[in-house]
Structure 1
Amino acid sequence: MQTPTHFDVFVADGFVLTELAGVVDVLRLVNRISARPIFEWHFRSLTGGTINSSSGAMVSTTPLPARPNADYFVALGNSDANARDLSLGATIATYKSRQARVVLLAEAASRYIAETDDEAGLHTTHWENRAVLSERYGLFETQSALAADTGPVITGAGMGATVDLMLSLAGHHVPSTVLMTVSDVLLHERIRHHSTLQPFSGQSVLATGDAALDAAIALMQNNIEFPIPISLIADETGLSKRSLERKFNRLLGTTPNGYYRALRLNKANNLLLNTDMRIHEIGLACGFPSGFTTIYRETFGVTPNAARRKGRTP
């Protein structure tokens, strides 16, 4: 019988449970449908023992081996982008030297991008982390795709896109019919390609049923940090400013300015509650060069600092 392909799945305190399930359930279902052990996996951490996820679930781990024999090393994202355990340079080098493929998700990917000399433009991470990389490190060229494959290292957005990435990897070891069955069991209606853009990458298409309105929204999404005038958005979509305002009011119940402002504030709120970026950095990244705290308080009823301390969505 053929030796199973082995995955070492690395977790640190605060790991994202969604990503753990995305990795393991694909492997588990491939084994079930194939009626033989195509894959095996071990949960790893720096020191071993019980590791807690950001949602409170726990997983039992063994320490990283000095001489790994895994075919894949997968590092999960984390609720704490600054978690020391995500500095995996030496570990990645060890696995690469043993001919293992390295898969880094979300915060693990962004830490790798920030800490190596590899070109940022070759890699991707979750859109929240892209903002941190651009604001803090000046790395503006990271991709907005779900995943990026440079050969020995694959970087990915993580979260729900973990299933797509794992199905793609599994496709190197099992027939496409097995993958489609796994996808059906997961109620995953299609396997998205690595190059698929993240839904909030600044490039997504929102179908409102109106082509001009969709184009206007796409322009807004693509210009979060440096907002452009509504009059220019109207010109780019072939409408008068007044016609654009009527479309927003009729189909979305708001004004173009109100929608644009809410879009930027929602992104700011996500960055505030899910990254460690400074308040001023978040304001700049979302097109509020001044007065961000006042605007945030007026919208959410609490200051950014207070919202971050409470760790809740306003």
Structure 2
Amino acid sequence: MSDLRSATRIQPDTDKPQRFVFVLLDQFSLLCFATAIEALRIANRMGGRTLYEWSVIGEGGEQAVCSAGAVFQLDGDLGELARDDKMLVCSGMDVQSATTKKVLGWLRREARKGIVVGGLCTAAYTLARAGLLDGKKATIHWENQDSFAEEFEDVELTKSVFVVDGNRMTTAGGTSSIDLMLKLIAEDHGEELANAVADQLIYSSIRTDQDTQRLSVPTRIGVRHPKLSLVIQMMENNIEEPISPSVLAQDVGMSTRQLERLFRRYLSRSPKRYYMELRLQKARNLLMQTDMSVINVALACGFASPSHFSKCYRAHYDTTPYRERGSHATRLSI
């Protein structure tokens, strides 16, 4: 490949490479880590010299296991970083268990140096637990948004693909690591180099922090009906205080019977049933990802009483909320 140094805003050879420190937590997402580090590697290749260096560390300093089961050799333990290092914490499944006291203490100590700290995939949870996102904007994988919003009220949670707020960075997981790294490469060395890296990654749609992480409602449900999409969006935005089907129908300019027919035709269920499934899905996320009491989970999902919540939950998932939480805790301890 051609050398891009003459065409891009690359620093002179006397400048030190920017060093990234990747912190791998147990069960980290391989995709988030791999795409971030690959973007840096390709930037070095396309730039014709070492623009970036990196090291991979973790608690214990020996090995880290990703959620796919692959084992990675670490460069070292949670040691002292330089003030100009950029730290990226990588996590994935069951981030709560992976966020240990040692990790939290180390993060707080290193963050006091003023270094840039980022969280990939679910690692926004770890940063928030360490108090590093208080008063900041942040994002996290959509599956963890409900539990995060309940637990960290001092963080301004967004649904963006990634967020950079001062010296804090967070991504939503999946391929969003690429978007963040391309932004950083563009800031360091210009848009042309960032675009060249994207081309090498066969990444044709570069997203910004203004892009949301989830597919649009029509794409997700496989139906392009504007009024149906609007009603579903209203349902998703009003879980704690559900809106009656009659009010939903009125808000989109149709009768309750017309709304019923619309849901039956396209989704093979009533509006009430669909709404209930959304609420129960959020409840399951909260049970799995937080320490909220079952009563508080019920209230957060629009159920007036724990008994009604338990009855609906059992009818849908064939188990009670209490047993669900207990079986989840058992699986994690095995």
Instruction: Give your verdict on TM over 0.5.
Output: yes
> 2:194 maps to which residue?
179
Amino acid at match of 2:41: R
Deviation at 1:112, TM superposition (A): 2.9
Indicate whether 1:51 and 2:64 are aligned.
Answer: yes
> 1:84 maps to which residue?
100
CA RMSD of aligned residues (A): 3.0
- Residue 21 of structure 2: SS of its match in structure 1? strand
> 2:229 maps to which residue?
214
Q: Which has the larger displacement, 280-289 or 75-84?
A: 280-289
- Residue 313 of structure 2: SS of its match in structure 1? helix
> 2:30 maps to which residue?
17
- Residue 171 of structure 1: SS of its match in structure 2? helix
Contact 1:31 1:37 in 2 (8 A): yes
- Residue 96 of structure 2: SS of its match in structure 1? coil
Q: Which of 49, 71, 75 is the aligned partner of 2:85?
A: 71
Contact 2:263 2:270 in 1 (8 A): yes
Q: Which of 248, 254, 268 is the aligned partner of 2:263?
A: 248
Deviation at 1:250, TM superposition (A): 2.0
1:188–1:233 distance in 2 versus 1, CA, 3 Å: farther
Q: Which of 135, 149, 158 is the aligned partner of 1:143?
A: 158
- Residue 232 of structure 1: SS of its match in structure 2? helix
1:209–1:244 distance in 2 versus 1, CA, 3 Å: same
> 2:6 maps to which residue?
none
- Residue 221 of structure 1: SS of its match in structure 2? helix
1:211–1:141 distance in 2 versus 1, CA, 3 Å: same
1:132–1:86 distance in 2 versus 1, CA, 3 Å: farther
- Residue 118 of structure 2: SS of its match in structure 1? strand
Can you list the C-alpha shifts for 1:244-297, whole angstroms capped at 9, x where unaligned?
222222222222112212222233334444555554444333333433333222
List gaps (5 residues or longer) in structure 1: none
Contact 2:24 2:56 in 1 (8 A): yes
- Residue 173 of structure 1: SS of its match in structure 2? helix
Indicate whether 1:60 and 2:73 are aligned.
Answer: yes
Indicate whether 1:269 and 2:284 are aligned.
Answer: yes
> 2:9 maps to which residue?
none
Contact 2:32 2:121 in 1 (8 A): no
Q: Distance in 1 between matches of 2:259 and 2:144?
A: 32
Q: Distance in 2 between matches of 1:192 and 1:237?
A: 31
> 2:4 maps to which residue?
none
1:80–1:150 distance in 2 versus 1, CA, 3 Å: closer
> 1:31 maps to which residue?
44
Contact 1:265 1:296 in 2 (8 A): yes
Amino acid at match of 2:89: A
Amino acid at match of 1:299: H
Deviation at 1:117, TM superposition (A): 7.8
Aligned length: 308
- TM-score, normalization by structure 1: 0.83
Amino acid at match of 1:302: T
Task: Give matches, 1:186-197, under 5 Å.
Answer: 186-197=201-212
Q: Which has the larger displacement, 302-311 or 190-199?
A: 302-311
Amino acid at match of 1:76: C
Indicate whether 1:295 and 2:315 are aligned.
Answer: no
> 1:239 maps to which residue?
254
Indicate whether 1:169 and 2:176 are aligned.
Answer: no
> 1:131 maps to which residue?
146
Q: Distance in 2 between matches of 1:210 and 1:161?
A: 29
Amino acid at match of 1:65: G
Q: Which has the larger displacement, 210-219 or 37-46?
A: 37-46
> 1:308 maps to which residue?
328
Amino acid at match of 2:100: R
Deviation at 1:215, TM superposition (A): 0.8
Indicate whether 1:258 and 2:270 are aligned.
Answer: no
1:80–1:149 distance in 2 versus 1, CA, 3 Å: closer
Can you list the C-alpha shifts for 1:154-212, whole angstroms capped at 9, x where unaligned?
23333432222222222223332333343344343412211323328xxx543432111
Contact 1:272 1:279 in 2 (8 A): yes
Contact 2:122 2:144 in 1 (8 A): yes
- TM-score, normalization by structure 2: 0.79
